Amino acid sequence: MIIDLPKTTTRDINKRLVDERDEGGAVALGRVLTLIIDVGAHDPEAAIEAANDASREHPCRVVVLTEKGPRAESELDAQIRLGGDAGASEVVILHPSEAQARHLDTLVLPLLLPDAPIVAWWPYDPPADPSQHPIGQLARRRITDSTECATPSDVLHRLAGTYAEGDTDLAWTRTTLWRGLIAATLDQPPFEPVQRAVVAGESTHPSVDLMAAWLGWALNCPVDIERQADAPAITQVRLERRSGAIVLDRPDGKTAALRQPDQPEHRIALPIRQLRECLAEELRRLDADEVYGEVLRKGLTKVGA
């Protein structure tokens, strides 16, 4: 169900949500958090679709903030999506005027679920300092996505300078399976130090930088990046040890081959993670991701430009 509310107020939006809930029998207490999505001037549909899919694991109220450019009248347009158009969530899309957009925290406060955690997500361009942004100050967790930025590496270094507990980035989430496989491999004999690590992947993909930063931070070894044009994200991680190299190779973005000295090659399903998977993973934890913070602040300095 899609309900358009032109020239409205947050009070009227709340009233309509209550009316629809009473009529449809939806239970507000089933929502476990409020997810605020700030898409700026971008099309919000991809972010809404990802949030709807993630809401099946984490029922929530989704508040989407969009920009429609300067408007003469200080009026708020809104849209409510319920039922099949909202997954397991309630979606409220706000189109504030230019004047209202200067006070986004005041705008969304009446729409927050009582006593429920707040998560802020910037699917495209993150603010200069997420924790000090009006929406970021309301949120326990703040999710950015440097993958969607024009200069991902610059954004990562900027985020490192403003990192606060609760910050995370979906480029980091996209490395979770790689990190898990590498950690499991190193947990087997022979327990030798890694002399050098190499990460290969798409030339501007921030997950490549974060994977290299994690290896440099966790293994305290030199790390090199092999940047490849038009590669499918991370394509290979190679760890050089005295007994031979451990190589996790995924050239096609779907299946990886794990090669280790004196062992047969193992084939592992390792598809590129979709946006909805990454968002659902981040919504599972509301505590600070301390490893991400250490890698961002200390690991990136071990990686070349």
pLDDT for the residue 29: 47
For 70-103, the pLDDT digits (tens) are 654 678 999 999 987 777 789 999 999 888 988 9
For 144-160, the pLDDT digits (tens) are 999 999 999 999 999 99
For 154-201, the pLDDT digits (tens) are 999 999 999 999 999 999 999 999 999 999 999 999 999 999 999 999
Phi-psi region of 83 (alpha: psi -120 to 50; beta: other; left: phi over 0): left
Residue with tokens 């790689």: 178
Structure tokens at 291: 């490893």
Q: 247 forms bridges with which residues in the sheet?
A: 238, 259
Question: With bands split at pLDDT 50, 70 and 90, how would you rate the model's confidence at 305?
Answer: very low
For 253-299, the pLDDT digits (tens) are 999 999 999 999 999 999 999 999 999 999 998 999 999 999 999 99
Residue 80 to residues 73, 74, 136, 234, Cα–Cα distance (Å): 22, 20, 23, 38
pLDDT for the residue 62: 96
Residues counted in the chain: 305
Q: 29 forms bridges with which residues in the sheet?
A: none
pLDDT for the residue 72: 46
For 7-47, the pLDDT digits (tens) are 999 999 999 998 887 776 554 446 789 999 999 999 999 99
Q: How many CB atoms lie within 10 A of CB 235?
A: 21
Domain boundaries, the chain: 2-169, 176-269
Average pLDDT over residues 132-139: 97
pLDDT for the residue 138: 97
User: Does the CA dihedral 183-189-195-196 come out positive or negative?
Assistant: negative
